Structure 1
Amino acid sequence: MPLEADDANAVTPYQLPFPKDAQDEIVIPDAISGDERLWVPQAENVSFRPLCLNRSQGYWMNLLRVRKSGVLSRHRHPQPVHGFVLKGRWHYLEHDWEAREGSYVFEPPGETHTLVVPDDVDEMITYFQVNGVMIYVDPWGKVMGYEDVFTKIDMCRNHYTEVGLGEDYVDRFIR
């Protein structure tokens, strides 16, 4: 039930303590940062900006940025993935739709697809929540590698050390 604007309780903050073991929130005011040190390289012209790396539940949320057209990766998801396109556009070779700026994409468990950024796109940025693992495969399903929240954390630690932010810079995104 909505509260009335003149109700004094409507503008009173919650007055009880939060649960003792509740984790801190994550607030990233400038998520699409111009500070290149914050973007973790994943491949040539491909980087990600970690937002939440949830090691206790095995998922991660990040911004994926691609700065050149072409085939990015072929991968399989045993768990669902959610995406929201912030800039540019992309598609999967296996489907006839295109994810454009403002598009939401739900990728169901079991989905295997090949991400492509079209030739006329200079930069693509998509917010993804990936649950579980991404399994990289060849066209016939042979496993070529994988990523999970722990490999993402390791990539961040290594990168942030290399750029002078320190390996513990990533801790602000870990829950």
Structure 2
Amino acid sequence: METKQVSSRIVDDVMNAFTERFMLPDRVNHSTDMPWIPFFEDGGSWFKPLRFDFTTGLWIMLFKVDEGAKLSRHRHTGGSVIGYVIEGKWHYLEKDWKAKPGTLIFEPPGDIHTLCADPVEGMTTLFILTGSIQFFEQDNTIYREDDVFAIYKRYRDYCEANGIEPDENLCY
């Protein structure tokens, strides 16, 4: 039995040494150091980018919606959405559930919905997204489509306009 344990430790040590040669470095981002960036020009919703992965199309952000504000009807395409509510409450007009602090949300690609923030508290949610978000006009035409590149450009444009040095550590 002791020989098996020693052999297992040697394999673990060899494997650890091997993987450490090729793995990415740790990344640490402090969202408290990141400004809230307008998601739409007319206000009401804000984001703090936490990660951009241009290979997979994944982006992670904190998303805040003001009290009583709505995010227009939209569809996620090309990937799912995971959300975790940090503060406040919100719901989709088209659904019968309500999100509150501690709620984990899974949205399949293709689902169309309208996000409504609580009229008193608003909301802040951590979202992990892949693919794109298509925003609809009343006549069902698409007026805007965001993906990892569009959100990254919005972040970079905001930084440039406000004299902020973009955090290159967000891209990996």
* Percent sequence identity over aligned pairs: 30
Q: Indicate how the Cα distance of structure 1 residues 111 and 162 shifts in structure 2: closer, same or farther if over 3 A, else same.
A: same
Number of the residue aligned with 1:104: 104
Number of the residue aligned with 2:170: 173
Number of the residue aligned with 1:116: 116
**Residue correspondences, number:** 156
Number of the residue aligned with 2:27: 26
More helix by share: 2
Counterpart CA distance in 1 for 2:21 and 2:98 is 43
Deviations 1:80-139 (A, max 9, x none): 100000000100010011111110000011101000012122x41100011110011134
Give structure 1 stretches of 5+ with no counterpart.
1-8
Confirm or deny: 8 A CA contact 2:44 2:69 kept in the other structure.
no
Q: Note the 1:131-170 alignment, pairs <5 A.
A: 131-166=130-165, 169-170=166-167
> One-letter code of the match for 2:105?
V
Confirm or deny: 8 A CA contact 2:92 2:114 kept in the other structure.
yes
Which consecutive segments of 4 or more residues in structure 1 shift more than 2 A? Answer: 22-26, 138-141
Confirm or deny: 8 A CA contact 1:26 1:52 kept in the other structure.
no
Structure 1 stretch displaced more, 153-162 or 86-95: 153-162
CA shift for structure 1 position 162: 2.0
Counterpart CA distance in 2 for 1:59 and 1:157 is 17
How high is the TM-score relative to the length of structure 1?
Answer: 0.80
How high is the TM-score relative to the length of structure 2?
Answer: 0.82
Counterpart CA distance in 2 for 1:24 and 1:76 is 34
> One-letter code of the match for 1:25?
D
Counterpart CA distance in 1 for 2:97 and 2:62 is 21
Number of the residue aligned with 1:45: 44
Q: Indicate how the Cα distance of structure 1 residues 15 and 82 shifts in structure 2: closer, same or farther if over 3 A, else same.
A: closer
Deviations 1:20-76 (A, max 9, x none): 4x4333212x42x2x5x6222112031111111111110100000122312222110
Counterpart CA distance in 2 for 1:156 and 1:173 is 11
Give structure 2 stretches of 5+ with no counterpart.
1-8
